[in-house]
Amino acid sequence: MDWLEQELRSALARKEPPPGFADEVAGELAGGARTVVAWPSRVTGRWLAAAAAIILIIGGGVGYRRHRGIEAKRQVMQAFAIAGGKLNHLQEHLKEVSQ
C-alpha cells in the first residue's frame, strides 16, 4: 500500500457517533410495535403469469432488429451514464463551493 493509500486509511478511519447515540435509538424503539403487511400471493401470481405470457409472445427468436435494439439500448445507457455523471459531478462541486 503506498503513501496515498495509507493516508486514505488514516483519513477514513472509523469514528464513534456522538455520545448519547445509543440512548436516542433506544428512545425511538420505545415508540411501540409495528405492523408489516405483505402483498397477497394470489396478486403476485397473476402478475407473474401475465408477464410470462407477454415474454412468450414477443420473444419469438433473436433477429437483426432485436440485436440492433439491444445494442441501441446499451448505447443509450452509456450516453446517459456519461451525461448524467458529468452533471452530477458538476452539482457536487457547486455544492461544495456554496458551503
Q: 5 vs 57, which CB is nearer to another protein?
A: 5
Q: Is 45 in the site for another protein (CB under 8 A)?
A: no
Count of positions on this chain that bind another protein (CB under 8 A)? 65
Q: Is 93 in the site for another protein (CB under 8 A)?
A: yes
Contacts of 9 (CB under 8 A, 6+ apart): 1
CB atoms under 10 Å from CB of 66, counted, come to 13
Q: With the C-alpha atoms ordered 83, 86, 90, 93, is the resulting torsion angle positive or negative?
A: positive
- For the CB of residue 60, give the shortest distance to another protein in the complex, in Å: 15
- For the CB of residue 71, give the shortest distance to another protein in the complex, in Å: 6
